[in-house]
Amino acid sequence: MGKKNHKEATEQDVMENDQTPNQAEGTTEDSKGEKSPEKEMVDPVEKLETDLANLKDQHLRLFADFENYKKRTSRERSELYSTANQELMDALLPILDDFQRAMKNLEGNEAQGGIQLIFSKLENTLRNKGLKPMENSTGKEFDVDTMEAVTRIPAPSEELKGKVVDEIERGYMLGNKILRYSKVVVGE
């Protein structure tokens, strides 16, 4: 009987170890020999590759968002600077106009040299900050884009009809933007 038990035990061990390769991997086969997906294992290399691809995608998106943020803040800072500059220039233009009128009245006066020096320093400082005076428009064709007609008068001559007869206030630009339009008198 000892041999019989030993023989049965050996046959039983062989049957337990004699499984199909799918059963050894952890998947089960149904009666038709098809794999059931319930216990299918994911390949660790594929999982790591997909994780890596996802992390690379997240990294690229984060990098792009950061670059957009830098550009946006730089643009906003530049706009803020130009807006602040514009407000300052708007406030200084009437002073500049008064200074120019005073210079015309001081011709031949002894104080003209010192006042001329101060005026030129002010004008140069404003130019360095981006303020540019527009060309004198007297005698030129009236341009709606750069001039503001204050009044119309009968033209002193035929050639001045539709043209600027006199410039009351000079126009200024800050960078490429018109800060103040030239105020002119147009001939009819």
Lowest mean pLDDT among 14-18, 79-83, 127-131, 170-174: 14-18
Q: How confident is the model at residue 22 (pLDDT cuts 50, 70, 90)?
A: very low
Most confident of 17-21, 59-63, 76-80, 102-106: 59-63
What is the architecture of the domain spanning 132-188? Roll (2.30)
43 SS3 class = coil
Q: Tell me how far apart the alpha carbons of residues 100 and 120 are, in angstroms, rounded to a whole number.
A: 10
pLDDT at 69: 95
% of the chain at pLDDT higher than 70: 79
Confidence of residue 147 (pLDDT cuts 50, 70, 90): very high
Model confidence over 112-135: pLDDT tens digits?
Answer: 778 888 889 999 999 998 899 999
Angle, in degrees to the nearest 10, between helices 112-128 and 44-105? 160
Looking at residue 26, its pLDDT comes to 46
Highest average pLDDT, of 3-12, 50-59, 75-84, 124-133, comes from 50-59
- pLDDT in the model for residue 20: 46
Phi, psi of 174 (to 5 degrees): -115, 105
13-27, 41-55, 133-147, 156-170: the lowest-pLDDT one: 13-27
Dist CA 49 CA 126 (whole Å) = 61
pTM of the model: 0.56
179: left (phi over 0), alpha (psi -120 to 50) or beta: alpha
Q: How many CB atoms lie within 10 A of CB 170?
A: 18
